């Protein structure tokens, strides 16, 4: 089991993780660190309250990402049909130019 030391608000935390996941844990910690200054202002100096606000900020971001409706105009049906036609044409060209065994 690997261990990573993470620091928030001047306090160090030793966190266990699977071998090879140290970098991912540090990336996740960076998400907390990025929100720490705003949360610390809202937390009024309380370390626990600051963590609470960071958690709420991350939960809000997650909720928005999970529930944000995707725009319908990312790619139109006509564009998808055009892409499919070009891919089929490319596949046909590749099949014709492939060397025969």
Q: pLDDT band for position 99 (50/70/90)?
A: low
What whole-number distance in Å separates Cα of residue 4 and Cα of residue 14? 6
CB 8 within 8 A of CB 51: yes
Render pLDDT for 2-59 as a digit per residue (tens, 0 to 9): 999 999 999 999 999 999 999 999 999 999 999 999 999 999 999 999 999 999 999 9
**pTM strictly above 0.75:** no
> Residue 72 has what pLDDT?
65
> Cα-Cα-Cα-Cα dihedral of 75, 80, 81, 84, to 10°?
160
Per-residue b or e along 13-46, where b marks 16 or more CB atoms closer than 10 Å to that residue's CB:
eeeebeeeeeeebeebbeebeebbeebbeebeee
- How far apart CA 60 and CA 92 sit, in angstroms, is 48
């Amino acid at each position: 089991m690997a261990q990573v030391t993470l620091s928030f608000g001047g306090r160090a935390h030793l966190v266990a993780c699977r071998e090879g996941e140290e970098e991912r844990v540090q990336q996740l910690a960076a998400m907390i660190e990025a929100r720490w200054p705003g949360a610390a202002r809202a937390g009024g100096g309380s370390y626990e309250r600051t963590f609470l606000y960071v958690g709420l900020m991350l939960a809000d971001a997650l909720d928005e990402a999970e529930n944000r409706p995707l725009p319908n105009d990312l790619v139109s049906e006509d564009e998808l049909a055009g892409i499919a036609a070009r891919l089929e044409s490319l596949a046909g060209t590749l099949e014709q130019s492939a060397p025969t065994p």
